[in-house]
Chain A
Amino acid sequence: GENVEQHPSTLSVQEGDSAVIKCTYSDSASNYFPWYKQELGKRPQLIIDIRSNVGEKKDQRIAVTLNKTAKHFSLHITETQPEDSAVYFCAAMESGGGADGLTFGKGTHLIIQP
């Protein structure tokens, strides 16, 4: 089955700086890579996703890059703000080949220092 590794487990950055979270996956058949944000005491919510037919996707201050050859993908947050403080999860799955669930990384606790 799929295995997703996520680093770092904790990331502390100064407000206004950029944050980068990295994930690797093991199954070359995986083709859908979402990122979820979970604020304290709340449910995970999708913030951005990417499919394997593109290498990069951007939505305002958030971007995701995908390197299929190396089997890794990254989340980039620019101009970080206090409300970016949360736990971020990457995930991977093979979509289109039948129903399946997501395999999540263990999460990154992002702390924005004022």
Chain B
Amino acid sequence: DVKVTQSSRYLVKRTGEKVFLECVQDMDHENMFWYRQDPGLGLRLIYFSYDVKMKEKGDIPEGYSVSREKKERFSLILESASTNQTSMYLCASSLYPPYEQYFGPGTRLTVT
């Protein structure tokens, strides 16, 4: 069974703080992804990675960065959190070429 885990289910941070969201998968998947999910907007791709130390911008990368130092771990970084980054963040992984994406449980981030 594929398992994708995220470091926190709920997180509350203050404006201006640096925030780290971590994602770990246990199926040796090459691809990993970060999405944010907002009501009425669906899931929007922030960043993805197809190999260790490789990263590609998605549709909404502004205000975010990522790190992939190990194949199983993909981190999303908010350099200076802002209130408009309050959202549900979902991590996913898949084999390459693109097959089914397996999602983590999500982190609901609130920035006050």
Write the residues of chain A forming the contact surface with B, with a CB cutoff of 8 angstroms: 1, 6, 9, 32, 34, 42-46, 49, 89, 93, 95-96, 99-107
Is there contact, CB below 8 Å, between B96 and A46? no
In the complex, which residues of chain A have a beta carbon less than 8 angstroms from the beta carbon of B106?
Answer: 43
Q: State whether A46 touches B100 (Cβ < 8 A).
A: yes
Given the known inter-chain contacts A43-B105, A99-B31, A101-B58, please indicate yes or no for A49 contacting B100, CB distance below 8 A: yes
Does chain A have a CB within 8 A of B74? Answer: no
Asked if A99 and B96 sit within 8 Å, CB to CB, the answer is: yes
**Interface magnitude class on chain B:** 20 to 34
Choose one: B33, B41, B56, B98; the contact of A32 (CB below 8 Å): B98
Residues of B that sit less than 8 Å from A by CB: 30-31, 33, 35, 40-45, 48, 50, 56, 58-59, 90, 96-98, 100-101, 103-106
Q: Is the CB of A104 within 8 A of B43?
A: yes
The residues of B that contact A96 with a CB separation of less than 8 Å are: 97
Question: What's the Cα separation between A105 and B101 when bound, in Å?
Answer: 16
Instruction: Using CB atoms, name the residue of chain A closest to B47.
Output: A101
Q: How far apart are A42's CB and chain B's nearest CB, in angstroms?
A: 8
- State how many angstroms separate the Cβ of B93 from the closest Cβ of chain A: 12
- A44-B90 in contact given A34-B100, A49-B100, A101-B33 (Cβ < 8 Å): yes
